[in-house]
Amino acid sequence: MAHTQSEHFTNPTPSADTRWFRQVSPTAWNALLVAGLGWTFEAFDVGLFALTLSAISDDFGVTKAETGIVAAVQVFGMIIGGVASGFAADKFGRKRALIAAITVYSIFTGFTALAPSLEFTAGARFLAGLGFGASWTAGAALVAETWPARHRGKGGGIMQAGLPVGTLLDIGASFLVSQLHGGLEDGGWRYLYLIGALPIVLAAYTARYVSESPIWLEGRIVREKSSTFTQLFRRPSVKPLAIGFVFVFFIHSLLPSANGVLKRVCPCPSAGRTESPMGCPARCNRSS
């Protein structure tokens, strides 16, 4: 009996690790990594236009109202991209749809840096918007179908954190470029859009190292014979579709406020001073 008790204390029965993050597989964490970064860089690229609107208006010699139309064009592209991505993700897979989304918004954000006119900018932002809208749709589906059901909410919450992180990166990058270039005018804003093209590397990583959704691979996705574009506007789909539209416009109503934050961080000089205290002489000189 003594031997049995000693054996009991020296060789306890191993217990499963109850820490939730240990219960999520490396494959699921990898899916969250690319989906979360895709959403973060999407938020970064989307927010660039609000921060550069004034500089683009000055460089192209147009009014801010005319430049603001580009923002509406971009949002319109996001709506189309989000809807189309749902069909693409069902047909071709979540992973492929996410790769395509990141590739599209990276390429056309980079093209924005080369824009010779406002019209070219509008076209580039519309095409980038297709990728913006598709990124969240495909990424969220990949995470939801890869993470275990009991921890799916945590995965979605972590992914959603990419929005404020992307906005903060916007402000930080804009401030850095303003410091190094002397403001965003005279082409300084173009450097921000070149930075916005860097997520193309994430698309390559996703193609090489991320696994497809096991649910999609196993063919468990329900595909009704009547699955057409018009079905989106039938009664069962109208409510979630409307919520999606409201979400997009709500997010984009908040992004311009980042521009106001940056202007407060980088104010124009008051009378009697020769330069901005935070390194924005180009913008300030034009407005003085």
Tens-digit pLDDT string for the chain (288 aa): 444 444 443 344 444 567 887 889 999 999 999 999 999 999 999 999 999 999 999 999 999 899 989 999 999 999 999 999 999 999 999 999 999 999 999 999 999 999 999 999 999 999 999 999 999 999 999 999 999 988 989 999 999 999 999 999 999 999 999 999 999 999 999 999 999 999 999 999 999 999 999 999 988 545 444 455 555 555 555 555 555 555 555 554 445 444 444 444 444 444 444 444 444 444 454 444
What domains lie within the chain, and their CATH numbers? 24-268+275-287 (1.20.1250.20)
Tell whether pTM > 0.85: no
Q: What is the pLDDT of residue 238?
A: 52
CB atoms within 10 A of CB 82: 24
Provide the pLDDT for residue 246. Answer: 55
Determine the Cα–Cα distance for residues 206 and 213; give it in Å rounded to an integer.
Answer: 13
DSSP tag of 233: G
Extract the tokens encoding 216: 């999609």
Nearest residue to 181 (alpha-carbon basis) of 24, 52, 41, 8 = 52
- The residue with tokens 């010699």 is 61
pLDDT value of position 221: 46
What is the residue-wise DSSP string for 58-80? HHHT--HHHHHHHHHHHHHHHHH
